[in-house]
Structure 1
Amino acid sequence: MADAAPVPLDTPTDLNRNDTRTVADALNVALADAYALYLKTKNYHWHVSGPHFRDYHLMLDEQAAQILAVTDVIAERVRKTGNTTLRSIGDIACRQTIRDDDRDFVPPHDMLATLREDNLHLVEVFRDARERAEEARDTATSSLADEWIDQAEERAWFLFEASRRS
């Protein structure tokens, strides 16, 4: 049996369907990057070692939880505008712009520096989504993106401060 053509979603919205598709594309990249950053943060949380183990371990766990919480909000926003979102790990891998880190050992200072840069990259991805939302007159997505940007900037700040050497 051949796959049937996709049926458009009939989600009620007063936003232009073509504009929301552009916003959804940007949000799906943000969602893929959030998942990639979540998993990288958990990876570092699981593998951190050294004299600051407890502090880093707890901070990374808190940050991972915050990132994971954002993923559901992003996906639900895509659906509220009548679009579809990520479906699999493969879909995430195709869209993510944050690189994975599969190294067996990463020094704690490198972990913090990498996550700081990744969070700053995520800020730029969120800003792109916000700009597209503003162009589409999608104020709800734009407002949510402001919060996501603030959270990612705060995570980057904490990572910067925790990695400063006396």
Structure 2
Amino acid sequence: MSKAKSDTRSDKISPDLDTPTDLEPAAVSKISEALNVLLADAFALYLKTKNFHWHVSGRHFRDYHLMLDEQSDAIFATTDQLAERVRKLGGATLKSIGQVGKLQTIQDNNEDYVPPREMLRELMEDNKHMAAAMRKAHKLCDEHEDTGTAALLEVFIDETERRTWFLFEASRQEGSNAA
């Protein structure tokens, strides 16, 4: 890595991990930073979705339990792709749960009990938040001509919108069928 490149990087990269790229060092740093926040949020949303999957109750238990399990699997599947994209660009990715906690913008839910409709609505809002953050990261990628990351984010935005839609419809059902 050249001295100039090293000095402009906010995340000092070991020469052994300095993946070659044609993107400017400032672009790599900004895009990596945005992707690491998305990665932290994906881990936070994954764990929250699993938490609700494990603790959902009520007459729609089976449907919600299965839907949340499917959604948590889809969210977790994004984590490796996001982290590997950071590395493909030559950036440094998350290394610990502590970093996830520092970077995440998705709020944890540590309540002992959350009613099913509230679970679904909270996850719906979190997924909407993720989609908005992905769009913002996509704009950053467009500004720096990073088509690879932009294309990946387009797929993830679509998947996130699908989860939002399902959570919205399921929460309407819960509200209309509540005793």
Same fold (TM over 0.5): yes
Structure 1: tracts of 5 or more residues without a match = none
Task: For residue 106 of structure 1, give the secondary structure of its aligned residue in structure 2.
Answer: coil
Query: How far does the alpha carbon of each residue in 1:141-163 deviate from its partner, in whole angstroms, 9 at most, with x for none?
Result: 00110111111110000000011
2:109 matches 1:101: yes
Could you tell me how far 1:27 is from its partner in structure 2?
A: 0.3
> Alignment partner for residue 27 of structure 1, among 23, 35, 58?
35
Which runs of 5 or more residues in structure 2 are unaligned?
1-11
Based on CA coordinates, which of the two structures has the bigger radius of gyration? Answer: 2
Q: Is the 8 A contact 2:31 2:140 kept in 1?
A: yes
More RCO (CA 8 Å, sep 6+)? 1
Q: Is 2:131 the partner of 1:123?
A: yes
Q: How many residues align?
A: 162
Match in the other structure for 1:62: 70
Say yes or no: does 1:39 pair with 2:27: no
- The secondary structure found in structure 2 opposite 1:101 is coil
CA RMSD of aligned residues (A): 1.1
Counterpart code for 2:28: T
Change (3 A) 1:79 1:6: closer
Identical residues among aligned pairs (%): 57
Deviating above 2 A after TM superposition, structure 1's stretches of 4 or more consecutive aligned residues are 5-10
Which of 144, 158, 161 in structure 2 is aligned with 1:153?
A: 161
After TM superposition, give the deviation of residue 6 of structure 1 in Å.
5.5
| Distance of 2:136 and 2:85 partners within structure 1 | 15
Q: What is the rounded CA distance, in whole Å, between the counterparts of 2:35 and 2:119 in structure 1?
A: 26
Superposition deviation, residue 7 in structure 1: 2.8
* Amino acid in structure 2 at the alignment position of 1:158: F
**Aligned residue identity for 1:84:** A
**Matched residue type, 1:47:** H
Q: Deviations over 1:14-40 (max 9, x none)?
A: 111211110000000000000000000
- 1:50 positional shift: 0.3
- Displacement of 1:125 in angstroms is 1.1
Q: How does 1:73-88 map onto structure 2 within 5 Å?
A: 73-88=81-96
